[in-house]
Amino acid sequence: MTEDATQPIQSRRLDHRHLLKLLGGWAAAVLLPGIVTINQPVLVAYVFWGLGFVASLALFIRIARITDTTDLWPWLVASILPWAVNVTVPDVPISIAVFVLAAGLFAGWIFRQASVSDRLQHAGVPGTGTVIELIEPKFAGAAVNNGYARRSVRLTVERPDKTKTYQAVLRDLFKVEELPEPGDKIALRIDPEDATRVAAVPAAKPDELAEPAREPVDENETSSDA
Domain residues for 69? Answer: 16-121
CATH of the domain at 188: 2.40.50
Classify residue 139: in a domain, yes or no. Answer: yes
Q: Do 117 and 199 form a contact (C-beta atoms < 8 A)? A: yes
pLDDT digits (tens, 9 = 90+) for 179-215: 888 899 998 898 888 888 888 887 654 444 334 434 4
pLDDT higher than 50, residue 9: no
Tell me: do 52 and 103 sit in the same domain: yes
Tell me: do 186 and 157 sit in the same domain: yes
Query: Given CA atoms 20, 63, 69, 176 in this order, what sign does their dihedral have?
Result: negative
List the 148-158 sheet strands across, edge first.
166-175, 148-158, 125-135, 185-190, 198-200
Tell me: do 27 and 112 sit in the same domain: yes
SS3 content of the chain, % helix, strand, coil (to 5): 50, 20, 35
Tell me: do 112 and 31 sit in the same domain: yes
pLDDT higher than 60, residue 143: no
Tell me: do 115 and 132 sit in the same domain: no
Average pLDDT, the chain: 81
Classify residue 8: in a domain, yes or no. Answer: no
pLDDT higher than 80, residue 136: no
- Per-residue pLDDT band at 33 (split at 50, 70, 90): very high
CA 99, CA 106: separation in Å to the nearest integer?
10
Tell me: do 187 and 110 sit in the same domain: no
* Number of domains, the chain: 2
Crossing angle between the packed helical segments 72-88 and 42-67, to the nearest 10 degrees? 160
pLDDT digits (tens, 9 = 90+) for 53-85: 999 999 999 999 998 887 788 999 999 999 999
Classify residue 1: in a domain, yes or no. Answer: no
Tell me: do 56 and 89 sit in the same domain: yes
3-state DSSP call for residue 169? Answer: strand
Tell me: do 100 and 112 sit in the same domain: yes
Predicted local confidence at residue 174, as pLDDT: 81
